Amino acid sequence: MSSSDSLIIFDTTLRDGEQSPGASMTRDEKLRIARQLERLGVDVIEAGFAAASEGDFNAIRTIAEHVEHSTICSLARAGEKDVRRAGEAVAPAPRRRIHTFIATSPIHMEKKLRMSPDEVVGHAVNAIKIAREYTDDVEFSAEDAVRSEMDFLVRVFEAAIEAGATTLNVPDTVGYATPDQWAEQMATLIERVNGSENVIWSTHCHNDLGLAVANSLAAVRSGFRQVECTINGLGERAGNAALEEVVMATRTRQDVYGVSTRIDTTQIVPTSKLVSTITGYPVQPNKAIVGANAFAHESGIHQDGVLKHRETYEIMRAEDVGWSTNRLSLGKLSGRNAFKSRLKDLGVELESEEALNDAFRRFKELADKKREIFDEDIQALVSEVYDEQEEAFRLVALHVCSETGETPEATVTASIRGEEMTATATGAGPVDAALAAIEKIVASGANLQLYSVNNITSGTDAQGEVNVRLERAGRIVTGQGADTDIVIASAKAYLNAIERLEHPPKRAHPQMGDV
Ligand code: KIV
Ligand code: ZN
């Protein structure tokens, strides 16, 4: 067991988080998030699964080339091809890790892998040895550890240590654990595994029972010194342990956990907003730490108490997690250089002069409509510049008629693969009419599963950020759009989702298929 009081924060938003339906990200989007995670002070960024696709490989490699202070990691199944691909992807990073895994529960070994326990150990050992050819920092995970037999876990982990693994990760892949039981199981592993004092023990918990954070913290109490988590708790099914909750729980209850992290907590809210904007997963208002209401006091008694003495009802300060960093960034009179330098501060590097000019033009347009431009406005604007570079489905013009007592009607002109098309439709409201007009043009046949609007900053002149989630034949995509006019933002979001529906990225799922 590590006696250190440093807790390593391993962020897997770009890998496990990306496994959320419709949350798949482009290379540029991943790079923007990786840069923000670096600014947040994350120790390890799991940037993807290199063998999944050419796109994932390139994204990891780009991140490895640009991020200096966090370790860059790629996931790899315990097979030679996957591990070598991961090794090549992380090679440019000053600090790099390969994370290889294989399932160890009877049900996964028999039904999914069709391997005997001996074969599983053989694959794990072989993968770790190959990974060590690329880096000294190798993590091994026993997938579905929660349903694995303790004797077999001990055997696999001892073999992993002997083969050269430096971090051992114990995942609750299916979100089945409970805090007391997990704490006990983790303590038993540390006690029984020979050589356990020479490795970092890590936990990776899913949230199917809403216990991911509690279970992760229980593992910390048992001596685990790495927690795998995601921003906003994004991830497969019900998601992973939320980074912001793990970090703030260990910080606020230092007396209980006795560990500290490298996280700059003031970057938590900006990171949460960026991830939500890029993935199209809105944050529920009552979500701990990063929800819009997390620090809002509604009842008169609470408000009175907080005004008299903040600590009567607050255990954390909103500004400590970045709520007050809703920074006034630029205004109408700001020039191109000020804009460029703000982009740099935000870690955004637009690849060409053309993209920069485009972003600056959009900034000026926005500044004409909205007096104060905040960092969040700039992030939304940059997302649009990136999207538009590949856009085959683009909004050209929109006209809506909405009048008391009349049926709202919208006329939309959209550019579809270079050809301009126009349609008119009516609807229950102007948004409904606009989306119906677009659907007349694109005839996607998709089902709208989610539509949400959030204001990016405050005030009635704020940009509305619209997220839509579409489903067709079992495939789910999300789309985003931002504008001070929410009907326009909705039309942009719908077309953005259609774009993703029509151009599905080809990628393998790491936890399916053969090793
Ligand atoms: O949930 C899980 O088991 C995983 C592993 C690949 C670590 O994501
Ligand atoms: Zn997972």
pLDDT digits (tens, 9 = 90+) for 262-313: 999 999 999 999 999 899 898 998 999 999 889 876 666 666 777 777 777 7
Tokens of 434: 């606009």
Among residues 439, 433, 468, which one has the least CA distance to residue 452?
A: 468
| pLDDT score recorded for residue 204 | 98
- Cβ-count burial of 371 within 10 angstroms (0-12 exposed, 13-18 middle, 19+ buried)? exposed
List Cα–Cα distances, 299 to 216, 302, 305, 318, 326, in angstroms.
32, 5, 10, 18, 25
Residues measured by CB to lie within 5 Å of ligand 2, the ion? 16
Compute the distance from residue 204 Cα to the ligand 2 centre, in Å: 7
Is the pLDDT at 389 greater than 90? The verdict is: no
Taking the C-alpha atoms of residue 205 and residue 220, their distance in angstroms, rounded to an integer, is: 12
Compute the distance from residue 373 Cα to the ligand 1 centre, in Å: 40
Count of residues for the chain? 515
Q: Whose CA is nearest to atom 8 of ligand 1?
A: 16
Q: How confident is the model at residue 1 (pLDDT cuts 50, 70, 90)?
A: very low
List Cα–Cα distances, 499 to 387, 415, 476, 494, in angstroms.
10, 12, 12, 9
Q: Compute the CA torsion angle 139, 140, 141, 145 (nearest 10 deg).
A: -130
Tokens of 78: 């315990």
Question: Taking residues 12-18, what's their average pLDDT?
Answer: 97
Taking the C-alpha atoms of residue 400 and residue 402, their distance in angstroms, rounded to an integer, is: 6
Q: How confident is the model at residue 513 (pLDDT cuts 50, 70, 90)?
A: low
| pLDDT score recorded for residue 113 | 96
pLDDT digits (tens, 9 = 90+) for 95-125: 999 999 999 999 999 999 999 999 999 999 9
- Does the annotation flag 16 for ligand binding? yes
Is the pLDDT at 514 greater than 70? The verdict is: no
Beta strands per DSSP E along 2-125: 8-11, 44-49, 71-77, 96-103
Half-sphere exposure of residue 410: CA atoms within 13 angstroms, side-chain side: 24
Is the pLDDT at 326 greater than 60? The verdict is: no
C-beta 235 within 6 A of ligand 1: no
pLDDT digits (tens, 9 = 90+) for 133-181: 999 999 999 999 999 999 999 999 999 999 999 999 999 999 999 999 9
Taking the C-alpha atoms of residue 70 and residue 37, their distance in angstroms, rounded to an integer, is: 8
Q: Report the CATH fold assignment for 390-502.
A: Double Stranded RNA Binding Domain (3.30.160)
**What does pLDDT average to over the chain?**
92
Question: Taking residues 194-198, what's their average pLDDT?
Answer: 97
Contact assessment for residue 284 and residue 291, using Cβ atoms and an 8 Å cutoff: yes
C-beta 204 within 6 A of ligand 1: yes
Q: Which ligand is nearest to the CA of 169?
A: 1
Question: Taking residues 421-435, what's their average pLDDT?
Answer: 97
Domain ranges in the chain? 8-281, 291-324, 327-387, 390-502
Tell me which CATH code domain 8-281 carries: 3.20.20.70
Compute the distance from residue 147 Cα to the ligand 2 centre, in Å: 14
